[in-house]
Homo-oligomer: A and B are copies of this chain.
Amino acid sequence: MALATLVHPTGSHPASWLHPSAYPGASMDIGYYRDMARLAERGMFDLFFIADTPAARTSQLEAYARFPLFMNVFEPLTLLAALAGATTYIGLGGTASTSFFEPYNVARQFASLDHISGGRAAWNVVTSANDFAARNFGLDRLPPHGDRYERAREFVDVVRKLWDTWEDGAFLRDRESGLFFDPAKQHPVAHEGRHFRVNGALNIERVPQGQPVIIQAGASDTGREFAAETAELVFASDSTLEAGQRFYADLKGRMARHGRPPEALKVLAGLPAIVADSEQEAEDTYQTLQALIHPDVGRMRLGMDLEADLSGLPLDEPIPPERIPASANLHKAYFEHILGMIREGLTLRQLYMRYERGNRTIRGTPKQVADHMEEWFTSGAADGFMLTFSLLPRGMADFIEKVVPELQRRGLVKREWRGRTLRENVGLERPGHRRQ
Which residues between 24 and 67 of chain A lie within 8 Å of chain B, taking CB atoms? 24-25, 28, 30, 34, 53-58, 61-62, 64-67
* A78→B116 contact, CB < 8 A: yes
Q: Check A102 for interface membership: any CB of B closer than 8 A.
A: yes
Using A138-B196, A173-B25, A183-B61 as known contacts, say yes or no to A74 and B104 having CB atoms under 8 A apart.
Answer: no
For the complex of A and B, 9 pairs with smallest distance between CB atoms: A24-B173, A61-B183, A56-B203, A75-B112, A81-B81, A78-B81, A68-B180, A56-B201, A136-B200
Using A78-B112, A109-B78, A136-B200 as known contacts, say yes or no to A183 and B65 having CB atoms under 8 A apart.
Answer: yes
Residue of B whose beta carbon sits closest to that of A18: B175
**Across the interface, which residues of B come within 8 angstroms of A75, CB to CB?**
108-109, 111-112, 204
**Across the interface, which residues of B come within 8 angstroms of A137, CB to CB?**
102, 104, 198
Could you tell me the distance in whole angstroms from the C-beta of A19 to the nearest C-beta in chain B? 9
A341 to B74, CA, bound (A): 49
* B183→A72 contact, CB < 8 A: no
* B78→A113 contact, CB < 8 A: yes
Residue of B whose beta carbon sits closest to that of A175: B18
Residue of B whose beta carbon sits closest to that of A158: B136
A65 to B181, CA, bound (A): 5
Of A82-90, A258-266, A319-327, A419-427, the one contacting chain B is A82-90
Residue of B whose beta carbon sits closest to that of A70: B203
Which residue from B25, B30, B178, B205 sits with its C-beta under 8 Å from A66? Answer: B178
* A199→B28 contact, CB < 8 A: no
The oligomer's copy count stands at 2
User: Can you list 23 A-B pairs, Cβ within 8 angstroms, ordered by A?
Assistant: A17-B173, A17-B180, A18-B175, A20-B175, A24-B175, A30-B115, A30-B116, A58-B188, A58-B200, A65-B180, A65-B183, A66-B178, A68-B180, A72-B203, A72-B205, A74-B204, A75-B109, A75-B204, A77-B77, A78-B112, A79-B116, A135-B197, A138-B196
A202 to B79, CA, bound (A): 16
A199 to B12, CA, bound (A): 28
A183 to B296, CA, bound (A): 14
Question: Using a CB–CB distance below 8 Å, which chain A residues touch chain B?
Answer: 17-18, 20, 24-25, 28, 30, 34, 53-58, 61-62, 64-68, 70-75, 77-82, 84-86, 100-102, 104-105, 108-109, 111-113, 115-116, 132-133, 135-138, 165-166, 171, 173, 175, 178-183, 186, 188, 196-205, 294
**Across the interface, which residues of B come within 8 angstroms of A197, CB to CB?**
135, 138
Which residue from B82, B100, B105, B201 sits with its C-beta under 8 Å from A57? Answer: B201
Could you tell me the distance in whole angstroms from the C-beta of A432 to the nearest C-beta in chain B? 20
